Structure 1
């Protein structure tokens, strides 16, 4: 699908009253249902305009704080939630954890002005599938929505370096910690592939099993590790040196 050129989100919001968002998708296209949660009206309005120009995306709700985001997620069951990190009532990170508990099918993409590594790590631990800075172009947000819905992770390159540093620190301490829950040999194989960035289809092909079986293994892995996302499980695999035990 060819990419559309978008102005920045603030400019989009200023012109929102002049833009008609088509609420009816073209025949044969199932739109991804997106919930936007941000305490800035201008940003939410701009995002409504930008996403409304995409044939495969639809904004189904807007939350002004973390508590509203949780309530709307339960009511609307969106495919993807765009969530600001810093919001009143409940922070985006607190809301992220609650949404993953209540609506586990929803993918959460955090959008923020914060490039602090603590926010990144907390968001991933809470179950976020991606983390983008608000100064990214609109195309990056659109690509991020599609990517996390497809099961991929989205982290800006400049912040990925923070993860590498953290992985190194954790791996040095891993031998001092008690080993985690017992995973089966097959679950370890699946987890290693997840940590290397493989999608379910690729894992199924590599291990000669069905995608449904892969999903079941990943669900069992997350349950045993008491984690909410593939990213968190991948971090566990790296800090416990599972990738070095092939």
Structure 2
């Protein structure tokens, strides 16, 4: 008997939470939701990478409250080495600006409080699984502030590595435009835009759109509609 292919309409989730009771509660909430399947879970930090590589989830629901910068480094490893694009961070410290900034720059696509209700947690998983950035109500204001705050003016050009066209592309990415909308705005083919976006990401050293948005906003881009 051949193994059936995974249902493309089901979001596959890997759950990483070190506290067993909290992990069980989150899993119960996700299991009760339509369109979500928890395909792996662990409370052991050393098991995260092999577990994710084996399970190939769409979303990694990741505990950000590990000591020091361990959780942020793990997110960076998942993006860089495991090709993960959908990390939803969980934390009990919703007002920790340093943690949030570091997590976004590490490739985290969303940020939700561990005290969030089941509906909010499930909604956040669906949002990240479908390629959007998301923040819980408790963190939304902080996220907005981070993305709107421009980098302090530097004495030199902060983006000397980018061409004029690449600056235009990054500015629109920082405004939240997807490739199709950028193509319309600049009268370019969508394939051309994809190539430019890839070049920009490589030059500024980011792995995903969320990081590019933060990078661009901190360089003063994307601040006007």
The answer to whether the superposition gives a TM-score over 0.5 is: yes
Q: Which range moves more in the overlay, 135-144 or 152-161?
A: 152-161
How far off is 1:182 after superposition?
2.3
Matched, 1:191 2:170: yes
Q: TM-score, normalised by structure 2?
A: 0.82
Unaligned runs of 5+ in 1: 1-23
Is 1:118 the counterpart of 2:109? The answer is no
Kindly state the Cα deviation for residue 169 of structure 1 after the two structures are TM-superposed: 6.0
Q: Which residue of 2 aligns with 1:150?
A: 130
**Distance change >3 Å, CA 211–CA 131, structure 1 → 2:** farther
Structural RMSD (CA): 3.1
1:234 corresponds in structure 2 to 213
On the 8 A contact 1:170/1:239 being kept in 2, the answer is yes
Aligned to 1:62: 41
Q: How many residues align?
A: 221
1:95 to 68, 74, 83: 74
Aligned to 2:112: 132
Equivalents in 2 of 1:211, 1:59: separation in Å? Answer: 35
How far the C-alpha of 1:128 sits from its partner, in A, is 0.4
User: How many angstroms does 1:140 deviate by?
Assistant: 1.6
- Distance of 2:99 and 2:119 partners within structure 1: 23
CA pair 49-158 structure 1, distance change in 2 beyond 3 A: closer
- Kindly indicate whether residue 42 of structure 2 is the aligned counterpart of residue 86 of structure 1: no
Asked if the contact 1:100/1:228 (under 8 Å) is kept, the reply is: yes
C-alpha offsets along residues 15-49 of structure 1, whole Å, 9 cap, x if unaligned?
xxxxxxxxx9xx97631111000001122222222
User: Normalization by structure 1: what TM-score?
Assistant: 0.76
What is the distance in 1 between the residues matched to 2:7 and 2:108?
30
* 2:197 pairs with one of 218, 225, 240: 218
Contact 1:128 1:229 in 2 (8 A): no
8 Å contact from structure 1 (residues 183, 221) kept in 2: yes
